[in-house]
Amino acid sequence: MTKLKTWHDNWNDAIRDILFPDAALKELMLIPVANLNNIKMFIERYFIEDVLPDELITDENVRVLCYETEGAKFGNPNVLKKYLEFDIFVRNAVLYTATTDRLQRRDKLIFKRIRELLTGCSHVCNLRFQYEDDYHLGTKTVGFRRYHAVFSYKQTI
């Protein structure tokens, strides 16, 4: 039997219907007013689905990379545990300017908002994400900090 809606279709729905419309997330990501309602601009410049983009976008203050990685098989050979990972890049100049509390980092606030959006309900666009871990990673992009977050999900074959 052919699947009518794939995991990727559901993930596109999550981007379109959950992440993109969220004003708090876009505010934290410092998306200019002119680009607030342009989903194509959102996925090309601010929320990029790619593990290693060809070109680093250093003219944006915030950039989120999103990608899938392999997990493990469960007892059932038709069910896989996979990972959805995020790399949140924030320019040093705006790292501590998200709130009046100058100890709150913008990258961690973006992660927190993404976590709320993806795990706040039992299912988001027919997907069920589990929080796995979050931590700092190094970056070779001068003037930026990188924060990494990992979520897991089950995928049937």
The CATH number for 78's domain is: 3.30.70.1700
Please give the pLDDT value at position 141.
84
Name the residue among 123, 97, 122, 91 with its Cα closest to residue 109: 97
Separation between Cα atoms, residue 156 and residue 1, nearest integer Å: 13
Dihedral sign for Cα 58, 27, 115, 133, please.
positive
Q: In this predicted structure, what is the pLDDT of residue 47? A: 94
**Predicted confidence band of residue 152 (pLDDT cuts 50, 70, 90):** very high
Region 111-136 average pLDDT: 95
Provide mean pLDDT across the span 48-76. 83
> Which domain, by its residues, includes 120?
7-156
The pLDDT of residue 56 is above 60: yes
User: Does residue 114 lie within any of the structural domains?
Assistant: yes
pLDDT digits (tens, 9 = 90+) for 16-54: 999 999 999 999 999 998 888 999 999 999 999 988 766
Q: Considering its fold, how many domains does the chain have in total?
A: 1
Task: Assess if residue 121 is contained within a domain.
Answer: yes
Report the pLDDT averaged over residues 8-17: 94
pLDDT of residue 70: 87
Residue 118: predicted pLDDT? 97
1, part of any domain? no
Paired with 54 in beta bridges are none
- 3-state SS track over 108-129: HHHHHHHHHHHHCCCCECCECC
pLDDT grade for 2, boundaries at 50, 70 and 90: low
Task: Indicate whether 58 pLDDT > 80.
Answer: no
pLDDT at 100: 95
Question: What is the pLDDT at residue 33?
Answer: 87
78 has pLDDT over 90? no
Residue 64 parent element (H or E): strand 62-73
pLDDT of residue 1 exceeding 60, the answer is no
